[in-house]
Amino acid sequence: MKVFLDTADLEEIRALYDIYPLDGVTTNPTILAAEKKAPYETLTEIRSFLGQEGVLHVQVISRNAEDMIEEAYQICNRLGSNTYVKIPVVPEGLKAIRFLAKNGMRVTATGIYTLQQAFWAGKSGAAYVAPYVNRIENLGADGIQTVCDIQNCFVRNGIATGILAASFKNIRQVMALAENGVASVTVAPAILRGMLENASVDLAVDRFINDFENAFGVSATMSTIAAVLEGE
């Protein structure tokens, strides 16, 4: 499974890339607005950090297909060819997806709540579809099952579009998709940090180190560890 980081906070991006083997960064207009800076200033900083080979997803804000298409080209011209343009799956968005995909642009179809949205986005040539797992569940449906249904539909109909699941409330939702072989997810920093937060693990590690220090009467530093291990 590919894991993308869903944020425009450059400090968070740097910190989490230092820990996790991440596959790229996704943004949306709400995420960019939270940074309180000009959007392209933020996006250019992210692109600089990722380098030209890093994957970045950026969403249009236009409402009609013609403007979406123009905005998509502006995004890629400013941020590089390895930028995926996110377009919502509404009627005007689907028109834009068809045109852009036909002309070689990599599009992430976003705002997906239903199987039929994903089907038409995939049939229109989107590189990814981004179903909103937790938002689907907030409507009373099963978000995990919806993503699995999309995956099965694509396989059975020979649609090569990938899945980039988004909108998670907890780690369980993410790992449920991993268990079902979903190709990629994008998660907020808080969810990602929580993946390795476990008080029981922390206690166990502390006990291992404390037992070593108490047994040998030293603090666990590299020099003292090396000496103890050599029996000096």
Q: Which residues are catalytic?
A: 86
Q: What is the DSSP letter of 194?
A: H
**Spatial distance between the Cα atoms of 220 and 128, rounded to a whole number of angstroms:** 48
Instruction: Give the DSSP H or E segment for 59.
Output: strand 56-59
CB neighbour list of residue 13: distance below 8 Å, 6 or more residues apart: 5, 7, 25, 46, 49
Two tokens, residue 206: 């502390």
**Spatial distance between the Cα atoms of 162 and 126, rounded to a whole number of angstroms:** 8
**Spatial distance between the Cα atoms of 157 and 136, rounded to a whole number of angstroms:** 23
Q: Are 57 and 84 in contact (CB under 8 A)?
A: yes
Go through 154-193 and write b for each residue having 16 or more CB atoms within 10 A of its CB, e for each that does not.
Answer: beeeebebbbbbbbbeeeebbebbeeeebebbbbbbebbe
